[in-house]
Every structure is written in structure tokens, then in C-alpha cells.
Chain A
Amino acid sequence: MNYKRPKADVVIVGLGWSGSTMAEELTRAGLKVVAIERGAWRDTSTSFPTTRDPDELSGSVRKDILQAPVTETYTVRNKVGQTALPMRKYHNLTLGNNVGGAGTHWAGASWRWLPFDHQPYSHVMQRYGAGQLVDGLILQDWGVTYNDLEPFYDRFEKIAGTSGTAGVINGQRQPGGNPFEGSRTSPYPTPALERSRANVLFAEAATRLGYHPFPVPSAMIGAPYKNALGLNLAPCTYCGYCQLYGCGNWSKSSPNICILPVLMQRPNFTVVTECEVIRINTTPDRKTATGVTFVDSDGNIGEQPADIVITATFTLDNTRLLLLSGISTPYDVASGQGVVGRAFTFQTLSWGFMFFENEYLNPFMNTGALATQIDDFNGDNFDHTGLGFIGGAGIQSLSNQGLPIGMAGLLPQGSPQWGKGWKQAFRKGYQNYAQIQGQGTSFAHREQFLDLDPTYKDRFGQPLLRITFDYNENDRRSGRFIRDKCVEIAREMGATQVGGDSFADRPYSGYTPWDSSHVQGGVVMGEDPRTSVQNRFQQNWDVHNLFVIGASSFPNNAGYNPTVVVGATTLWTAKAIRDLYLKNPGPLVRL
């Protein structure tokens, strides 16, 4: 049975961080907003009580909180000519499956990106010239700068209650913070959390080596805080059940605690849950979006007409929705023409793994983002002359795991993985294992892209999205460089056994243990319609009333996590809709 819902001013597809942030802005401006969400309603008290949340098996082992591959998955191949195959089991891309999206179960690293990360092309050309770029690399500015975004970074941090130690305020260096960060107008809303033993050892070693350690800004609230929307957030308790768990303490920033309790008081807001949007509808000339079509849980087809369509789904699904809807020109790898699915990036991870002899690292006292970092080798904070690559990584001592099933295989080299020897090795390794993550930049390449799979379909018979990705030469060079830095610091920390790894030295896989979940691009914002899907306001170049928000807009990935940038760019776009678009609906950038 098909049906049509009453027309809304705005329909938002997906109610995670970006969707709920946008909904709050636009309902406050008086618009009638309907959000359509694939997952179910979740609220903290009912869904994540502290009396049942600390359960490793259903949490990070069975991953009950994630969207399952049976609902939708992606096919993957490393290069053109190979046959892409579906990721059949849970993989590294951790999609949310509820109101709140991945913002409910995320680990919580809460970064502003460097000014460089928003204007990498201008910066690299000015400092090094085109000779610094490996063949095929795609590098372009966002059309929006760090300075443009600063007020929105500030606002989003005050919604999230981000904890941290500022490094630069109004151009002035601050003790204990990141000296390389873009200048802030205010300190973090809440103070940095206490450090783990591993963090302390890292900071001491990094300081001896002449680097500049600082606490990683975090979604784990540092002190009782009333956020910008008037909601009370509670201090983090270091319980260690963050990534792939909801937070029952009201102490991890999420749409569920930071935005939705306010949004749900507004009569001009409606969310329709457990309905999957299958396409964006347009007028026959494809110049105007008319709404979206969705499938509800009974299999009925519903339509939600609206004057403005905003898609705020998972990064990859934003690209897929445009391709399924025939909006904008798909990227063609052979010619290099087209934009949808182009400029797709991942994250280049390097690691230092280490074991101590007689430590009590007490790894169970942690948070998803309990980390101390150096940015001395991130972005363009160091001279790349003669190195043959651009970018780098945030290098961090990451205390984010202490749950025993997940650590059962983390043993000193040569230890047996079962039998009596395993019990002894695990007993010792559990208290003596530490890790340094190099969370590296990823730049787009003409041979990395997204399109629709020719073979595999979802449960509704629509094509799955196909990922064609392998690390490029820039990734491999930066990955090895960063790995060696991780190992250098690990040795300085006094570990007796140290190993290093650069994932970019092997073909990309969605199943590499300890790999990232961050993917970006595909619907990028930019200054030129030939190389971007959207203008600097995340407004589609072709369809003026369509805005696709999220990390799909970013043409490169930084040596950081993306969430706060998603929040800031969403607020930037919300302001453009409110102040500019509503007064004069049409293209906000005219060429």
C-alpha cells in the first residue's frame, strides 16, 4: 500500500549527529521538519541503563548496536578490473542503527581539523608546488576555511560539551594544549579527563624526544555541564564501555543526550523511525527536489514531500542515495569526468604495539577517546621537502580497550594463543600491553571511487554501493614514516617488546583488525562544479533545494576523527539555509 505524508518544509534523511543538529537549527527557525530514520527510537534511560550496558559480548563482540550487513552492506574491490564482493559479516565501517546514528555508539574523539585540512591544495601549492603530489592524487580546497568554520566549531563543542585543553586561544599559545591547532575563540567547554598510565608514559617519552603532547579532545564530558541547548551532561566515569556502546551515564556526547531531548519538545518536529529512504524525488528536469520515497517496516512505500531535502545519512549512503536518484553526474574513472562518488578517502593507520614487563596499566579504566597525542607530524606541521608525500598523522597513546575478549589475542610475540601457555601470556599481557596509533591523513586519488555495484542488491532489490579503493603511494609513504615515529616513541616509553605496522603496505580490506571506520567524500563540497557535487554551503550545484551533509562533503581526510567537523559544517550550512536560502530560494553560489 502506497501512501503520502503531509508536505513538510524540510525533510531530513537520517537522524544522527548531522541530521539532529540540522533539525534543531531549522525547527528553531520555525520550519516544519520531518526526519526519516532507518533505525529505531532510542533514549538513554531506557535503552542504555548502566545496569545492563557493561556487557562486552552483546556490545563490542556481537555488535548488537550496529546496523547489520543483512540490512545493507557494501561491495569492495581494490581496483578496476577486479570483481567487487559484498562484506557479508560485520566489518570495520560501524554504522548506527538507531535514532542518534553512529553518534550513539561512537568512541568520541572530538577534533577540530587544522586550517591546512580545509585548504590543502592552496597550502601545498604555495609551500611545495605540484611536484610534491604523487601521480593521480586529487587535492582540492573545500571552499570553506577554518576561519569561516571557527564560530560553528565553537557552537558544536558547546552542544557536545567537549572536554579538552586548549592550545591556542585568540592567537595566544596555552600551556598543555596542542600548539599546532587553529586559533580558538574560547576554551573547551569542559576540562580534559584524567590520563591513563599509558598516556602518562607516552607524554613523558614524547616530551623527552622534543615533541608536544596534549590530551585528545573528547566526547567524554570532563565536568558537570549545561550545554548550549540547556541540557545537563554528567562527568565521565572511565567505565570503558564507549565504542560500540551507548552511554548510560549521560556523559558521552551524543544526539540522544545533547540535542534530541530539546528537539522532541517542538511541535514542528516529527521523526518517523524504522523507515528507509530509497530515493530522492525530483521534478522531471532534475532541477528541484520534491521530497523522498521510503519503505516502512511493513514494506509499504511512503512519500514525504518537502520544499527542502537534506540527506544526513552515513557517508557512503549519501553517495548511494544520489546515485540511486539519478542526481548529479556519476564519476567515470576512465575519463576522470563526473563528480558523484569521486574524491573518496579512507584513513591511513600506522601503529606501534608494545609490551612492558611489570606494569599495572589497568586497561579497563578507559574511555573511547582517552588519548594523549602529538601533532608534530600531522597535517603540514612539519617540513615535507624531500619526503615524497603530503599529510601525516596524529600520533597518540590510545587507552580505549580493556575488555577481556577483545584483548585475549594481544600477547607478546611468540606466545601461544591457547593452552596453558596462553593463560600465562594473557595474564601478563593484559596488564602490560599498550599501543600508539598513528591516525593518518588520506588524500583522494583518481582510482579511488564509489559507484553502484552491477551485481549485488539490497533487501529491496536496489544496487549496493561499490567501493573501489586501495591505498595510494602517498598513503604508503606517509604510513611508513608515521609507523617509524610510533615505534620510536614506544621504545622511548621503556617497553621491552615493540612492534610497528603500516596498514597501507597491504591491500585495503574492510576486515583489518584495529583499522579505522572513517570514510569521507563522494559528495564533496568545493568551488568548481566540475570537481565537486556541492558548493561551499553543501548545496547541490544542480538541485538548489538539496543539501547533502556529513563527511561525504570532505574531499580529503585529516589525521583526525571527523565528527566535530561534521557538526561544524552542518551548523555552517544551517545558517546559510536560515539566513540566505529561505529569503531567496535558489543557488547560493552563482558562477
Chain B
Amino acid sequence: MVNYDNAKDLLTWEFDFALSTYYEIETEAIEHLLPKQLNPIEVAPGIALMSLTALNFPPGALGHLPEFQELIFGLIVTPDLSRGVPKFAMYIVSLSSTNREHLEHCVQHYRLPVHGQFTGVSLQHDPHVVEYEDADGPILSMRNIHPNPAYGEGERYFQAFVMDNDRLYVADVVMKGSLFEHQQTGDAGKLWPHPFYNGVDVEAAEPVAFMQMLNEPGTMGKQLYPRPEKFR
């Protein structure tokens, strides 16, 4: 697993809701968003993966902040295995949340590509359902497809890549908690055309849910997220 002995400014975030969906999308629809050092993972010829992760942070998850919600749009890319062997690696394209101070922190501490602040979030813990919108309109509705999640305590190490001022950065992130991953097929909700997707025509792409990850309702999970460091 990850050794955080020399990690810079490691923060531990506690969340009580996590729902992440990987959608299949044609590679040519997203590859222009990737920096030259990264390549998309293809699950079939010409088919890449984009992920949308919704999180709910209870009061105190980040210092004095009240409860807030976050949504991250990423592309699944080839990891750097010289850092360790993660479950996956993600290039973060866009992030929004309901809290202005949190967004400022994301920019300053994590160099994250912040899109803006949500105006409306509807979130249901069990079964997992979320809806996000902002001043430009609805962004997504997303729900868990699996009827009988079998949660188990576990850790998921992933690499988070971000671009800032034409430089690529990476952080080794670990999610801990009572989690469940599945590849049940079905209707995971709807993605609405929206600037949050940075030009990706999600409606035309008709994304298919490839995989989902969720946390056990009523339990707290942790995300260990150090400050990203320069990548090569």
C-alpha cells in the first residue's frame, strides 16, 4: 500500500456518502482533454472510461466547514506503477462543490480544476441517489444500480493527476471504509449537457455505466489525500 511517511501536507477527509460511476465513452470524445504524458485506459477498442464521483462531507470534514457536497469529473488513465500499483489512475478534469471555501482550498492545496459552485444538490444515502445542478442547469442524476450491495472494509489506492499552469501533478490517494464495487448493468441515471464536462458531449456519447463504487450507508469513510507533487 501507500507509504505516506514523506507525503506533503497529508489531509484526511471524512465522508459519509460516496458514489462513483465509470462510464464508457468513445476515446476520441475525450482524448483531447488529456496531457501528453497520459493515455486513456481502453476497455474495448476505441472505448475509454470517464468517472463521476459524488461525495458528501459532514460538518468538520475539513476544519470548520459545514456539511458540503462535491462532484469530480475524471478520465481513467494509465497509472505510474513506479509509485506503487493502484486500483486505477484518474486525470481530474473538473470539480465543483456546494462550498466556496472548500473550492478555494481545492485550488490552493490540490491545484484542482474547479468549475464552480452548485446551486442545488439532492442526495439520498440509501439507496444511493444524487442530483447536481448549478446556474447553467442540471449536471447529472446518478444512482446505484446494484440491488444488494455487499459492503466490506477495504482500501482503494488511486493516483490523482491534475494539470496546473501547464505542469502535470500527481497525488497518491487512499480511500478507506466499508465499500462495494460492482459492474451490474442497468440505468445509472442521466448526464446533462453542461459546461462542467469541459466540452465533452456526454449526451451524444450515450455513456454506459461500466462500474460503480459506493460506501455503506451510515458509515464513515476516509480519504487520505496529500498535496500533489510534480510528475516527471
A and B interact physically: no
Interface set of A (CB-CB < 8 Å, partner B) = none
